[in-house]
Amino acid sequence: MFKVTLLGTASAMPAGDRNQSAQALSVHGRLFLLDCGEGTQYAMARYRIPMMKLDTVFISHIHGDHVFGIFGLLSTLGMKGRQMPLNIFAPVNFGPILKFFLSYYGDGIGYEIRFTPLKMKEPETVLETKSIKVEAFPLNHAIETFGFRVMEKEPPFNVRKDAIGEYGLTLTEIGSLKRGEDVVREDGTVISLADAAYKPFVPRSYAYVSDTAPFPEEALWLKGTTVIYHEATYLEEYADQGAQRHHTTTLQAAQVALEAGAQKLLIGHYSSRNSNVKAYEAECRTIFPETYATSDGESYEI
């Protein structure tokens, strides 16, 4: 499974039907949380995201609408009896916030919190497993802010079951095929990889781009990403405010997706001045037709 569930799509102020920024990403048996705005733990309960299975939290920056929900979530996990360590990747300035929380409320925390400060100037791998890796990269916001990209690794080849019998493949030959090698037998017979094996899937990727103004490297760093979530706080008529506040407009987000060669663009982090999210979607689609304006509770397969 590789699926994202939107837990909050509002910007600085929550709306009646929108919480502040948070997303739950399920990928290869792991559950990641991307940002943790106010109301995140309630949204997890409402949309049936199993918080006790939460593996890692990625915080883009410490503006309140992206982090005010972390205290409640950490406390609830403690009250539920969590014992498994929780990983948190966040900017360096999240450290004092976590220290404050633990100094006043840490007695009820019965699990280890493993905080990794982010301080890179270009994309770096911050987490890696057998099947995925996660990159963090700097954004262009008013304070230090990071985006995240989760990528499936290239899978090994699967050997066709009918080919095992047809060619009388040995275990050694099966191993060669799984590594992507042709089989060459002592008598000169060649069993080609194309005839006997296949890739089970094409690797997918998901990028989470929170608060940022456009910057030259952005599309390059996101090149080839399958699905991009990008903040689109402002409609184009408010582009001047977007520039002043280091945010992105609809057309700017769509241009990034186009230049990156993405298959799909998800947008959110809407300004509270406009409740019609379809207006955001319509503007983006003038540049990038595969744009979808997200709402709280929606899920998308990557």
Give the residue numbers annotated as catalytic, written as ranges.
Answer: 65
| DSSP classification of residue 18 | B
Distance CA 221, CA 23 (A): 21
Give me 34's structure tokens: 């991307």
Q: Is 131 exposed, middle or buried (0-12, 13-18, 19+ CB in 10 A)?
A: middle
Distance CA 106, CA 103 (A): 6
User: Is the CB of residue 110 less than 8 Å from the CB of residue 79?
Assistant: no
How many other β-carbons are positioned within 10 Å of the β-carbon of residue 208? 24
Nearest to 25 by CA among 52, 55, 46, 45: 55
